[in-house]
Amino acid sequence: MQDENSIATDVRFDFTGKTVFVTGASRGIGREIALAFARDGASLILSARSIEALASVAAEIRDMGGEAVCLGLDQRDLGAIRSQIAPLGPIDVLVNNAGVEAVRDSLDVDEALWDKIVDTNLKGAFFVAQAVAAKMAEAQRGSIINLASLTSYVGVPGAVPYSASKSGVLGMTRAMAAEWAPKGIRVNAIAPGYFETDLTSVFYEDKDWVAKMIANIPAGRMGDLPDLTAAVRFLASSGANYIFGHCIVIDGGYLAKI
């Protein structure tokens, strides 16, 4: 009998015949989400600032027998967002994942850093969602999952621009859900806790840091990426058809304990 607390590696959904657009899909969380949807039968549209960076992800999807279209898309470029998304066909699911982060004392944050983070994580996410929602509205159906953060809920020193952007994503998710529900579009979000990716692996090299974090997680372990991808696919599935404007915090109980 499988341990009910084991990592969700065997969770499956059926997205055969569906088109899923994942932004920031070249690495980390975005890459894992894209591959999980591909294993569930979806056709993928992948975007990242560098189209070359998407090549290995697209190759893995095609090796599974799936389909993948790649877009070189900088979320700070509104013109590129509109010109590249408009020609695409119907989109069933958008995972609004692309984002950037930097740790810097708030007294040292300059306008360039603020604009880079907020324009990518919040402004860009909004305009990508807007462009995709226009297509979904025509079909009167669709699911958008935005990437929020634990910093949408709690303050983290050294992450003021990032926290501002991700708090905005949470508010944006709720407002979009309320406005777009009559158009058949479900908008929700996830807020990941601590997951090891190529972007965060440097932190995991510090065993004392890992032990300290686990001591504050009621589940007694760090997150594993299948825990996260299962939640995203649930929100995109018909099983979540009556869920609008919510954010699933995937953190092993970390925020609940604070």
User: What CATH number is attached to the domain comprising 107?
Assistant: 3.40.50.720
Structural domain includes residue 51: yes
Quick one: pLDDT at residue 5?
52
Structural domain includes residue 111: yes
Structural domain includes residue 60: yes
Structural domain includes residue 246: yes
- Crossing angle of helices 28-39 and 225-236, in 10° steps, is 60
Structural domain includes residue 41: yes
Quick one: pLDDT at residue 2?
40
**Domain of 137, in residue numbers:** 19-200+223-252
Out of 153, 162, 194, 204, pick the active-site residue. 162
Give the dihedral sign, CA 142/143/146/152: positive
Q: CA 172 to CA 217: how far, in whole Å?
A: 28
Contact present, 191 and 153 (Cβ < 8 Å): yes
Helix spans in 64-159 (H): 78-85, 111-118, 125-139
With a cut of 50, which residues of the chain have pLDDT below it?
Answer: 1-3
pTM of the model: 0.94
The side-by-side arrangement of strands in the sheet containing 19-23 is 68-72, 43-48, 19-23, 93-96, 142-147, 185-192, 247-250
Q: CA 2 to CA 228: how far, in whole Å?
A: 19
Quick one: pLDDT at residue 197?
79
Q: How many domains in the chain? A: 1
Structural domain includes residue 182: yes
Contacts of residue 37, defined as CB under 8 A and 6 or more positions apart, other chains included, come to: 15, 20, 22, 44, 93, 233, 236
Structural domain includes residue 1: no
Quick one: pLDDT at residue 196?
84
Q: Has 194 been annotated as catalytic? A: no
Q: CA 23 to CA 26: how far, in whole Å?
A: 8
Structural domain includes residue 206: no
Quick one: pLDDT at residue 10?
66
